[in-house]
Structure 1
Amino acid sequence: MRNISKKAGIIIALLTLSLIFSMALAGCGKSEQNKEVKWPEKPVTVIVPYGPGGGADQVARILAGIAEKKTGVKFTVVNKTGAVGSTGLLELSKANPDGYTIGIMPSNISTYKVAGIAPLTHEDFKLAIAVNYDACALIVRKDSGWNTFEDFKKAAQTKELKVATGSPGGLWHLGVIELENKTGLKFNTVPMSTGGAPAGVQLLGGHVDAIVIGPNEAASQIKSGDFKILAVMAPERSENFKDVPTFKELGYDIDVRSVRGIAAPKGTPDDIVKKIHDIFKEAAQDQQYKDYMKNSLSNATYMSTEEYTKYAANELISYSELMKKAGLAKEGK
């Protein structure tokens, strides 16, 4: 009987110790889970895959400046140009996934693989947040003599007009292709290797007849009256220029827009991605950013990490189809 009681006591003691040990482990786990990640604790590099002055560069610099003020940590914008933006994004994809190298993610990422530019899609990154968009637009000089798209169309039917646009194979370039496809017009297209801003320089100098880029990349000339927008490639008119029609209104089903966001290398921990999301969401709500969007003729928007990732997946499908339709697909060739 004593032996049985002794054995029972040992078993109870062991069970008690086991329970105490389990509770201790659970407590440690809970403590670790409740431990909030600290980011940023050192300077952050923000890669822009296009040259200075373009839409992506402008968005990066204004948001980085606000984030820097709010966190007290340096956010350094670095332009890495080349290959329709893929040079900079390749560098971003290979960066240490610790949150200290992030970058601007353009919609062009949806075209790289199908165009044979680079083996990259949004799936090679962690998309933190979408912050703005720009719709492609047909823009001409004030002294062109064209006040409507119909005026422009009549001129384009009599001679081949010279049209400058963004990077070869980029979204603004696709805008020109789509304009040709839907209207039956044919242009002498001049893509700019470093983005849309240089196209505006070409138009201002009278070297081309028109440009097809985002209005934000020629904001100063549009606001000064040197340039005028004939139509935009979006489902609805922009709040920035309510008197400018969409191509859909004119009878042409053309929708080419560039959505930009903040991304980190694949493998970046989710808790750090959330920190990136939260800081840039706060930055995008700052009045300075809102004023900048209005003054630059761009459009503020917001998509969460989940929403942005889903949107990018759909965009990959739609822009890949557009590339194939335009005859620019090189994937698998």
Structure 2
Amino acid sequence: MVQDANGDSSDRTVLNRRNAIKSLGVTGVALTAGCIGDLNEDEEWPSRPVEIVSPWAAGGGADRTSRAVADAAENHTEVSWNVSNQTGGSGSVGMNAAANSEPNGQTIGCTAPEIALFEHLGIAELSPDDITPIMQYTEMPAALVVNKDAEYSTLDEWISYGESNELQMANSGNGSSWHMAAAGIADEAGVQVEHVSYDGAAPAMTAVANGEADCTAAGAAEVAPQVQDGNLQALGVAFEEQVDALPDTPTLQEQGLDIQIGSWLGHFAPAGIDDETKSAIVDVYESVYEDDQFAEFMNNNDFMRVQRGPDEFSSFLDEQYEYYGNLVEELDISG
């Protein structure tokens, strides 16, 4: 079973020191742009439209929930909120773009477990130390799905097939959280797989629905529409109990696979943002989380609502960094 690690985080000392040096470099750049800062120092956030960067393709959970956040945020601010999709590098392209943006709150990033994976896999020099956590707002248990016409329609049949045949397993990018979930499930099941990367959960699911890949692991809420439409079959959910998104799908655990794994989503600002602006953003996000429009979207689309504010989210990210470091080593995954 894949479990959270409880060791200390002393191995991050070098990373923290590196980021301290990095922050000095950013400060130097900011000082050279002094006149730009002077023009904006009296403006209260948000002074102009806010952009949320979703690091994966349109149609996936990060994209859909970020758009729901943007829509609700317009109820609590006097500016427009927009979402841009900047894909690639298992999410590192979009997250880097947001993390390296001007720390004025006008650009917000969407993040997921990948932020705790990039450095372990050598994908990017980007970790929880490089961002300002704002809020986690959902978690998504992984669901194992296959094509509607697959010759295996149960978990046992999938395992039997995979023991003697190599399965093409789509994921949302090499080193992504759904790659980790897929690898964890395959390892626990003892099946042979070739992992095939796409630019998000939505194209990975489409690949399975079109017969380009045999299976994928993605969020239960993400796969639910295609399961309901009959394009995909769900064989199990990697959670402690059945979920509302797939009410007729048993857990993997009750079918003999002792694993619970998935993903989560949250938003962040760049590192170095001032306390006043951060506080203003957090206030808006707290209003968004309680907003009837946002709650209705989450409930109607079976996204679990889980709220972690800045401090709790920051501690959670540190735990995730250690957890995924151990998981990468355990499953021998490389970027």
Of 140, 143, 146, which residue of structure 2 is paired with 1:137? 143
Question: Could you tell me how far 1:218 is from its partner in structure 2?
Answer: 3.0
What's the secondary structure of 2:306's corresponding residue? strand
Q: Which runs of 4+ in 1 moved over 4 A?
A: none
Larger Rg, first or second structure (1 or 2): 1
Alpha carbons of structure 1 residues 306 and 250: separation in structure 2 relative to 1, 3 Å:
same
Of 246, 250, 261, which residue of structure 2 is paired with 1:241? 246
Aligned to 1:121: 127
Aligned to 1:201: 206
Q: Deviations over 1:110-149 (max 9, x none)?
A: 1000100111111111101111111211012333354431
Q: One-letter code of the match for 1:132?
A: T
Is the aligned partner of 1:281 residue 2:281?
Answer: no
8 Å Cα contact 2:46-2:79 kept in structure 1: yes
Question: Could you tell me how far 1:72 is from its partner in structure 2?
Answer: 2.4
Is the aligned partner of 1:83 residue 2:89?
Answer: yes
Q: Deviations over 1:148-180 (max 9, x none)?
A: 311221222232222212111111111121122
Alignment of structure 1 residues 1-333 onto 2, 5 Å: 38-192=44-198, 194-329=199-334
- % identical equivalent positions: 29
Aligned to 1:23: none
Structure 2: distance between partners of 1:185 and 1:99: 46
8 Å Cα contact 2:220-2:246 kept in structure 1: no
Alpha carbons of structure 1 residues 313 and 236: separation in structure 2 relative to 1, 3 Å:
farther
8 Å Cα contact 1:107-1:259 kept in structure 2: yes
8 Å Cα contact 2:168-2:193 kept in structure 1: yes
Answer with 232-241 or 53-62: which moved more. Answer: 232-241
What's the secondary structure of 1:136's corresponding residue? strand
Structure 1: distance between partners of 2:213 and 2:124: 30
Answer with 143-152 or 98-107: which moved more. Answer: 143-152
Structure 1 length as normaliser, TM-score? Answer: 0.82
Gaps in structure 2 of 5+ consecutive residues: 1-42
Structure 1: distance between partners of 2:196 and 2:161: 18
Question: Could you tell me how far 1:329 is from its partner in structure 2?
Answer: 4.5
Question: Could you tell me how far 1:52 is from its partner in structure 2?
Answer: 1.6
Structure 1: distance between partners of 2:327 and 2:261: 10
Q: How many residue pairs were aligned?
A: 294
Question: Could you tell me how far 1:70 is from its partner in structure 2?
Answer: 2.5
Aligned to 1:14: none
Q: Deviations over 1:64-120 (max 9, x none)?
A: 011113312111212211111111222222211111111112111010001001111
Aligned to 2:22: none
